[in-house]
Amino acid sequence: MTEQAPSLEVIDELEYGVWKATVLKVALELDVFTTIAQGHHTLDDIVGATQCSARGMRILLDALCPLGLLSKSRGEYFLTPTSEAFLVQGKPTYYGDWCLETGLAWEVRGLAAESVRTGTAVGGDLSRPDTEDLWAQYSAPDILIWPQTAEKAREMWEILGVNKETKPGLHILDVACGYGVKSLVLAQADPDARVTGLDFEKVLKVTAKIAEAMGVANQVTFRSGDILTADFGAEQFDIVLFGGILYYFNPKQVEELLQRAHKALKPGGLVVIDSRIADEERCEAEMALMIAFQLFILAPESEVYTFSEHKGFLEEVGFTNVAQQSDRLISAKK
Residue 134 lies in a domain: no
pTM over 0.85: yes
Nearby residues of 89 by Cβ (< 8 Å), 6 or more positions away: 31, 33, 34, 96
| pLDDT band of 130, cuts 50, 70, 90 | confident
Per-residue model confidence (pLDDT) at position 1: 54
Does residue 16 carry a pLDDT above 80? Answer: yes
- CATH number for the domain spanning 234: value is 3.40.50.150
Residue 31 lies in a domain: yes
Domain end among 88, 123, 158? 123
Does residue 14 carry a pLDDT above 60? Answer: yes
What's 219's DSSP letter? G
Residue 329 lies in a domain: yes
Mean pLDDT of 234-254: 96
Does residue 93 carry a pLDDT above 90? Answer: yes
Compute the distance between CA of residue 155 and CA of residue 326 in angstroms, rounded to an integer.
Answer: 11
Q: How far is CA 117 from the centre of its chain?
A: 28
Domain identity same for 244 and 317 = yes
Does residue 35 carry a pLDDT above 90? Answer: yes
Residue 133 lies in a domain: no
pLDDT per residue as tens digits for the range 245-303: 999 999 999 999 999 999 999 999 999 999 999 999 999 999 999 999 989 988 999 99
How many structural domains are present in the chain?
A: 2
| pLDDT band of 2, cuts 50, 70, 90 | low
Q: Please count the other Cβ atoms lying within 10 Å of the Cβ belonging to residue 262.
A: 18
Domain identity same for 116 and 147 = no
Residue 129 lies in a domain: no
38-42, 62-66, 295-299: segment of lowest average pLDDT: 295-299
Residue 242 lies in a domain: yes
Per-residue model confidence (pLDDT) at position 155: 97
The average confidence (pLDDT) of the chain is 94
Domain end among 75, 94, 123? 123
Domain identity same for 72 and 100 = yes
Domain identity same for 193 and 45 = no
DSSP states along 259-323? HHHHHHEEEEEEEEEES--B-TTSSS-HHHHHHHHHHHHH-TT--PPBHHHHHHHHHHTT-EEEE
Q: Residue 237 — φ and ψ, nearest 5°?
A: -120, 150
Per the DSSP assignment, residues forming a β-bridge with 220 are: 195
Residue 2 lies in a domain: no
Domain end among 94, 123, 152? 123
- CATH number for the domain spanning 96: value is 1.10.10.10
Instruction: Supply the range of the domain harboring residue 116.
Output: 8-123
Compute the distance between CA of residue 231 and CA of residue 18 in angstroms, rounded to an integer.
Answer: 42
Residue 136 lies in a domain: no
